[in-house]
Each structure stands twice: as C-alpha cells, then as structure tokens.
C-alpha cells in the first residue's frame, strides 16, 4: 500500500520526556510503525513500541459477560488504543530534541517520502529489504559501519539467517568487496553470487599449524602434559628439519613417528613408555581421520581469498575439531597478513554456527581469534559477522563486540535475554516482538542503520542450499520408486514363468 500522506492517528497524553511519550488513538496503528510529531520547531520521528486496546466503560472490574454485552449495546464501539512511542530524532538529522513534546500534540503516521529519506539514499549503502510496516520503503545499511563495527545475525533455526547472509554478501559484492564465509553445512558452495563464488577446499598444511592447533587435531588435551611434551619435542624437531630442507615434506609424519620410536629406546624416558605410545597411536588416528584435509603441499588458505568474490571455505564434511582448527588457523593468519600488509584489501568474515566456534562455557582455538578480531579487526579492515541460532550459548564477550544486530524470529526466552544484554538499543518492547516475527522478518539495530527498523529481508535470488526439505514428498518419491521396482520384478517373474 502506498502511503504518502501523514494521517493523524491520535494525541500525546500524560507526562512526556525527550525520549518517550504515551498516546491514545481511536485507530489501531501497528507496533513498529513510524510516526511524526511537530515540536521544538522541527518535525520529529518516532516509533510505536507498545500498544494496548482499552475501553472507557468495559473495565476489568466487570465480572459478568451479560453486563459487558449490555454496555456494548448502549455504548457501541467505545474502544481506543493506548501506546508508547520512542523518539528517534528530528527527521533531517535524527538528533533528539532537547525539549519534550507537549501533551495533547498530534501524532501522525509518517509518510513514505519522509521514511525514504530516513532509510535510504545514503552513500555506500546496501539494500537489505523493506520496512515491514510501510511496504515500498527500502531499508539500506551503511556498509562501512557494518564491517568496522561487526554484525551478529541471530534467530531460531529456519528463520532466515543464511538468506540474510546471502543478501548482505550480494550487496557487498556490488561494491566489489571481499566476503569470507566459513560454511559449516556446505550451504553456500553452489550459491550464485553476482561477483562469483570462490569455493576454497579446506586443505591445511600441517607444517604451518601452531602446536595447539596440531595437538587439537591429534586429540591431545591441554592437561595431558606428558603426552604434550613428547609430541612437542618430536613435532618441533621434525618441522624445523623440513623447513631447513634436511627432510622432505613427504617424510613429515614418518619422521615424527621415528622420533617417537627413538624416545621409546632412550634410557632417560624409560618411565614414560605409556604416554609416548599414546602419542604414537594418536598420530596414527590423526592421519586416518584427517586424510582428506591434511596436505603437505597445500598453500595457506588466506592466499586463496579473492577480492570481489564470495570466498566460501567448505567445512560441510569436516568434524567440529577440524573446523575449529581451520577457522582459528585462517583467522590468525588473516589478522597477521593484514597487519603486515601482505593482504591489501578489507575482508568481511562470516562465521556460521558461531556458538560452536566461540562457545560461552568452553574454550576453543577459534574463540581466542574471534575475540581478537572482534576487538582489533576494525582498525585493520576485518569485519566479523557472527551467525547463531543459540545466542545464549555464544561467548558474550564476542557478541558484545558486535555493535550491529539483525535479529529474526527468536522464541526462547533465555536467548532473548542474552541478546538484549548484548545490545543497548534493543528495548524491552522490541524484545517482545521477536516471537511474532515471520520467516525473513527482522529487527535491525546498530550504527549501520540510522534508526532501529523492523524489516522484511529480501529473498536471495541466487540458489542457496539449506532451506527446509519437503519430507513427505521425499518419502512419497521413495515409496513410488519401491512400487515401481516391485512391479518390474513381478513382470520379469511372470515373463520368465510364461517362457
Ligand atoms: N527473507 C526471506 N524471504 C523469503 N523466504 C525466506 C526469507 N528468509 C528465509 N526464507 C526461506 O526460509 C527458509 C529457511 O531460511 P534460512 O536457511 O535462511 O534459515 P536459517 O535461519 O539460516 O536456518 P538454519 O538455522 O537451519 O541455518 C529457506 O527456505 C528460505 O528460502
Ligand atoms: Mg542457516
């Protein structure tokens, strides 16, 4: 619906403040709708945050339904709406006037032209969707502020997080930017982005892993000090020899095993036979388990990141430990290379399943680097986008570094609280909206948007895997296949009998 005139919906009542006011209306506006008021010599924008239906004659003190019916017969429709408005600032500069509105002044629904001025038309912005309440008003986000001040995309499963990531990636590619997606479920590998998708195989070169990274892959826990010591001695020695050229890449794992065999023979280490054998077994397991991702000739993953492309590291077929090692290794190298000037362009890094990579109550290798980039990244041009369906399990420190938020449908109360604690601008009233959002609808907050917005996110047009599959259809097809096979077998048998 086009709405290009300012309709009066009600008047301000009671005590007001420069930040909020209460109003009453005979109409039924919607939560999230934008209103304008004239005071302090300027036109001021506000957002309806709460609404309740009231009646002057049908009060809570009436306990008899027949009485209610009779009052309605006599009074007719006497209901009115009472609500609260958050003041967002004057429509030109979005600065909050220093004076409060005076009680009694008119509240008008903002027209389309005013809203378009507020939500779009800025420099270097990408379109994410339209306002839910005023269809036809595009919502654009400031790309610089999105990348430098980090972003969290939070919602229950299936609410539209990956679709939002895809829309943002497409928007960044229009600026010829660079996005790096850690794709935990191979959702983005076939996505058709405007600037092209650069799928990066998750090969890692053990020669360049840090000791903790290698130890994690080998399943040597941090508190297994004796195992760790022998592992460190053997690994360190062999790595130096490979780097120095006295041992070839191919001999890397064999040489570590030989080194451990030497330790087994040594008189000094006689008492430690058990942990040394344990390390040997763990190395065998590591080679077996990670045969497909370990490559002694693999280049550094960071060198494969391209400008003007969606760079997708496909982690769909690796387990959580390996994903942790790959993410931590890539992030640490990315930070190092950008700091040193070896990588010359800014990168927006998307972490799907951020609560697994940076969990609240466990330590992981990635958590350290996610925290470092969250704190330091903006100075060097690395932006983080943390995506999670379980905000309550996400490391609160990393989450609080994400100044921008896109929150889609979220019904779990603890998740909602966690999100509210991390975001100064998510009011109690907006929080209450979260369970009633539909798929693809979101509250958008933070410096990347001029004012908080309720947005229907655009649908990504390029192909994206990971949407809901049609289960019944799948069963039906399997059943049909079974029936077809059975019929063919019966036909073959009857032909054979006839013969
Ligand atoms: N803005 C939107 N407009 C239209 N359809 C949408 C929108 N957002 C999501 N969908 C649809 O909803 C389904 C789920 O979306 P999506 O995969 O983005 O959810 P998700 O939050 O990433 O889920 P998961 O937690 O499983 O990763 C998809 O089929 C997608 O096409
Ligand atoms: Mg998803």
Is residue 157 within 6 Å of ligand 1 at its C-beta? yes
Q: Please state, in angstroms and as integers, the Cα–Cα distance from residue 138 to each residue in 3, 125, 131, 434, 460, following that order.
A: 14, 11, 6, 21, 15
Helix and strand counts by DSSP (H, E) for the chain: 15, 17
Q: Give the residue whose CA is nearest to atom 9 of ligand 1.
A: 160
**155 CA: nearest ligand 1 atom:** 21
191 near 463, Cβ under 8 Å?
A: yes
Atom 14 (ligand 1): residue with closest C-alpha? 158
Residue of the nearest CA to atom 10 in ligand 1?
160
Minimum-distance ligand to the CA of 439?
1
Instruction: Fill in the DSSP letter of residue 316.
Output: T
Are residue 190 and residue 276 in the same domain, yes or no?
no
My answer on whether 20 and 152 are in the same domain is no
pTM, 2 dp: 0.85
The residue written with tokens 């063919």 in the block is 488
221 within domain boundaries: yes
CB of 469 closer than 6 A to ligand 1? no
State the burial class of residue 137 (Cβ atoms within 10 Å of its Cβ: 0-12, 13-18, 19+). Answer: buried
Q: Please write the tens of the pLDDT for every residue from 201-248.
A: 998 888 888 888 888 888 888 788 999 999 999 998 898 888 888 888
* CA-nearest residue, atom 16 of ligand 1: 160
Contact assessment for residue 112 and residue 6, using Cβ atoms and an 8 Å cutoff: no
Q: Which of 117, 148, 165 is the last residue of a domain?
A: 117
**Model confidence pLDDT, tens digit, residues 92-123:** 999 999 999 999 999 999 999 999 999 987 88
Q: Are 388 and 353 in contact (CB under 8 A)?
A: yes
Q: Which atom of ligand 1 is nearest to the CA of 163?
A: 18
Q: Is the CB of 155 under 6 A from ligand 1?
A: yes
What is the number of structural domains in the chain?
A: 3
Specify whether 152 is located in the same domain as 221: no
- Point out the domain boundary residue: 289, 320, 336: 289
- The distance from CA 99 to its chain's CA centroid, rounded to whole angstroms, is 38
Q: Find out whether 164 and 153 touch, Cβ atoms under 8 Å.
A: yes
Least distant ligand from the CA of 468: 1
Measured between alpha carbons, how far is 213 from 177 in angstroms, rounded to an integer?
A: 30
Q: How far does residue 165's CA lie from ligand 2's centre (Å)? A: 9
Residues 232 and 270 reside in one and the same domain: yes
What residue numbers bound the domain in which 263 lies? 207-289
Give the long-range contacts of residues 208-214, CB within 8 A, separation 24 or more: 208/300, 208/329, 209/325, 209/329, 210/329, 210/332, 211/235, 211/236, 212/365, 213/325, 213/328, 213/329, 213/365
What pLDDT is stored for residue 2 in this prediction? 45
Domain assignment present for residue 385? The answer is yes
Centre a 10 Å sphere on the Cβ of residue 477 and count the other Cβ atoms it contains: 11
- Are residues 372 and 325 part of one domain? yes
Ligand minimally distant from the alpha carbon of residue 166: 1
Residue whose Cα lies nearest atom 12 of ligand 1: it is 160
| Same domain, residue pair 256 and 373 | no
In a domain, 474, yes or no: no
Does a structural domain hold residue 480? no
Token reading at 370: 């996610």
What is the spatial distance between Cα 228 and Cα 232, in angstroms, rounded to a whole number? Answer: 6
207 phi/psi in degrees, rounded to 5: -65, -25
Q: What is the mean pLDDT of each run of 10 residues along the chain (499 residues)?
A: 69 92 89 92 92 79 80 75 92 91 93 92 91 92 96 96 97 95 93 89 86 87 89 90 85 91 89 92 89 84 92 93 92 93 93 95 92 92 96 93 95 89 80 88 94 94 70 79 89 83
Looking at residue 467, its pLDDT comes to 59
Q: Which two tokens stand for residue 205?
A: 């070169």
């Amino acid at each position: 619906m086009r709405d290009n005139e300012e309709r009066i919906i009600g008047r301000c009542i009671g005590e007001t403040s420069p930040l909020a006011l209460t109003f009453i209306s005979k109409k039924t506006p919607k939560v999230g709708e934008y209103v304008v008021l004239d005071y302090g010599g300027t036109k001021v924008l506000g957002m309806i945050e709460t609404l309740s239906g009231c009646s002057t004659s049908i009060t809570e003190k009436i306990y008899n339904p027949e009485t209610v019916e009779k009052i309605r017969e006599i009074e007719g429709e006497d209901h009115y709406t009472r609500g609260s408005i958050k003041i967002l600032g004057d429509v030109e500069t979005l600065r909050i006037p220093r004076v409060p509105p005076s009680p009694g002044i008119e509240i008008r629904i903002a027209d389309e032209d005013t809203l378009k001025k507020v939500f779009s038309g800025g420099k270097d912005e990408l379109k994410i969707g339209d306002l839910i309440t005023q269809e036809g008003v595009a919502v654009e986000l400031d790309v610089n502020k999105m990348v430098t001040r980090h972003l969290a995309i939070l919602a229950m499963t299936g609410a539209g997080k990956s679709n939002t990531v895809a829309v943002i990636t497409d928007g960044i590619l229009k600026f010829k930017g660079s996005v790096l997606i850690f794709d935990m479920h191979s959702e983005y590998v076939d996505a058709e982005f405007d600037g092209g998708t650069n799928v990066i195989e998750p090969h890692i070169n053990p020669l360049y892993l840090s000791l903790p990274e290698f130890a994690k892959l080998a399943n040597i826990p941090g508190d297994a000090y004796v195992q760790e010591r022998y592992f460190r001695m053997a690994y360190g020695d062999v790595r130096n020899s490979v780097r120095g050229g006295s041992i070839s890449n191919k001999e890397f794992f064999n040489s570590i095993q030989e080194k451990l065999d030497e330790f087994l023979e040594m008189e000094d280490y006689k008492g430690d036979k058990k942990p040394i054998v344990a390390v040997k077994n763990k190395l065998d397991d590591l080679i077996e388990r990670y045969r497909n991702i370990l490559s002694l000739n693999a280049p550094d993953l960071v060198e494969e990141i391209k400008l003007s492309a969606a760079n997708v590291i496909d982690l769909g077929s690796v387990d959580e430990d390996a994903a942790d090692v790959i993410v931590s290794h890539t992030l640490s190298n990315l930070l190092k290379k950008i700091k040193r000037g070896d990588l010359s362009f800014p990168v927006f890094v998307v972490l799907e399943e951020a609560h697994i990579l940076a969990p609240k109550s466990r330590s992981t290798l990635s958590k350290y680097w996610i925290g470092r980039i969250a704190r330091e990244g903006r100075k060097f041009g690395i932006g983080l986008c943390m995506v999670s369906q379980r905000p309550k399990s996400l490391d609160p420190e990393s989450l609080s570094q994400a100044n921008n938020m896109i929150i889609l449908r979220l019904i779990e109360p603890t998740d909602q609280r966690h999100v509210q604690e991390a975001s100064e601008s998510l009011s109690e009233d907006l929080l209450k909206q979260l369970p009633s959002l539909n798929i693809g609808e979101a509250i958008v907050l933070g410096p990347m948007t001029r004012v908080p917005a309720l947005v229907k996110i655009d649908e990504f047009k390029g192909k994206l895997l990971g949407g809901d599959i049609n289960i019944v259809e799948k069963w039906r097809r399997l059943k049909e296949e079974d029936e077809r096979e059975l019929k063919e077998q019966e036909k073959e048998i009857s032909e054979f009998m006839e013969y």
